[in-house]
Structure 1
Amino acid sequence: MMRLNLMPWRERQRLAALRRLRLMLLGSAILALCAVLLMDQLARDRAQRQAVGNAALQVAVAGLDEQLEQFEPVNQAYESVRAQIAAVAALRADQGIVVNLLADLERALPEGIQLTELKLERSRLHIGGLAASGAVVAQFMRDLERAGSLLDLELKRVQSTAGGEAFLLAARMSADWS
């Protein structure tokens, strides 16, 4: 039987497989390098587009800021008008308080009393007048307390005169007044 030496053939096969492996490794490295370069280029392009977009947005924002600066006097005038409207509304509300106070005084005023003085100092109201008797003054005080627009009502003095009883009342205005 003849013996064949397959060693050179096997050696050639091994070297061919090694060359194929080296070529595949080199091809994979080149392909990976190309992929990395491509991804880098895409990232740079995207960053450049974003920078251009940001610059355009900055220009647009600057234009809008200029427009807002043009409207600033209008906004200030608007706020001034709103403040004036609020002040007028507060005055009207206070006007209603005075009207209500006078209406309460009129409703509480019994027959036999004549008011001679109404004086408002800060939130204190002083009421002076002449009454037919002390009982009429007491009735007037009870009616004023029921009205609710005056608080801490107190009788300061009662003096007998030829025309009747002269009296002086003091009261604190309700919190709505201040």
Structure 2
Amino acid sequence: MILINLLPHREERRKRRKAAYFAGLGLAAGAGLAVVAAWYLILQQMTSIQQERNAFLTTEIRKLEVQIKDIATLRAEIESLKARQKAVEDLQIDRNVPVHVLNELVKQTPEGVYFTTVKQDGQTLSVSGVAQTNERVSEFLRNTANSSEWLVKPELVEIKASSGVTANRERKRLFDFSVRLSVKRPQDVTAEAAGPAAAASAPAAKPAKKA
């Protein structure tokens, strides 16, 4: 017996295909929304983690800034203490300089030269006095320039003729003069003394042997 389907099967098939198509679209849309939602949640979590890191870094940076300020204050205090210590050390080193200067003046001053004023300002020594002749002043300049341990760089500021009265009331021609000198620091004198000693203690070079 032959059965004949008189129903509109093509329309039914078309409807099934359309329903399957829309179902696929719905599934794709649902999957897309799920992916977007998952990615959004991941981004939110990453943003929250990064914000926490930023907050932690900000807190640590503030702590470091406070520490840096404290370090800068400590450095300033250390530099101030070093400056004070150096000033005290310089005073201790220089306390015997006037004694050495007076000894040098006694040693390097020739006969016929008399000092009226001696003034030291830092490393500069100014002396004024009276000399019997110009040659006496020149000799004093040579002595301090060539053979003085503490006085260097003598400079004649002024010399002029004047009339003086001797002990027996006789008028005698004298010369008023002013000289400026530089005073060495004790460490400079020590360094200069150590230089020749080190050179003398160094072993002499052996002569080369002839072939």
**Count of aligned pairs:** 162
| Aligned residue number for residue 128 of structure 1 | 129
**Which structure shows the bigger proportion of residues in helix conformation?**
1
**What is the match of residue 37 of structure 2?**
33
Distance of aligned partners of 1:134 and 1:14 in 2 relative to their CA distance in 1, 3 Å threshold: closer
How far apart, in 2, do the equivalents of 1:165 and 1:93 lie?
A: 43
* Counterpart for residue 180 of structure 2: 172
Check whether the contact 1:126–1:170 (CA below 8 A) recurs between aligned residues. yes
- Do structure 1's residue 88 and structure 2's residue 88 form an aligned pair? yes
**Mapped partners of 1:144, 1:22: distance in 2:** 111
Structure 1 36/91 Cα, relative in aligned 2: closer, same or farther at 3 Å? Answer: same
SS at match of 1:148: strand
- With over 3 angstroms needed to count, the CA separation of the structure-2 counterparts of 1:152 and 1:136, relative to structure 1, is closer
**8 Å CA contact 1:151, 1:171 repeated in 2:** yes
1:22 maps onto 2:26 in alignment: yes
Q: TM-score, normalised by structure 2?
A: 0.51
Percent identity over paired residues = 18
Change (3 A) 1:42 1:27: same
- The 3 A distance-change label for structure 1 pair 23 and 15 is same
Q: What is the CA distance between 1:172 and its match in structure 2?
A: 3.1
Distance 1:113 1:171, change over 3 A: same
Q: Kindly tell me: are residues 157 and 99 of structure 1, through their superposed partners in 2, closer, same or farther at Cα, counting changes over 3 Å?
A: farther
- In the alignment, residue 176 of structure 2 is paired with which amino acid? L
Unaligned runs of 5+ in 1: none
Work out the CA distance in 1 between the residues paired with 2:47 and 2:60.
21
Paired residue secondary structure (1:149): strand
Say yes or no: does 1:61 pair with 2:63.
yes
Match for 2:136: what amino acid? V
Task: Give TM-score, length-normalised by structure 1.
Answer: 0.58
List aligned pairs for 1:43-58, cutoff 5 A. Answer: 43-48=47-52, 51=55, 53=56, 57=60
Deviation at 1:137, TM superposition (A): 3.4
- Check the 8 A contact 1:158/1:167 in 2, yes or no: yes
Whether the 8 Å contact between 2:117 and 2:128 is mirrored in structure 1 is yes
- Whole-angstrom CA distance in 2 between matches of 1:142 and 1:162: 27
> How do 1:108-119 residues align onto structure 2 when only pairs under 5 Å count?
108-110=108-110, 112-119=111-118
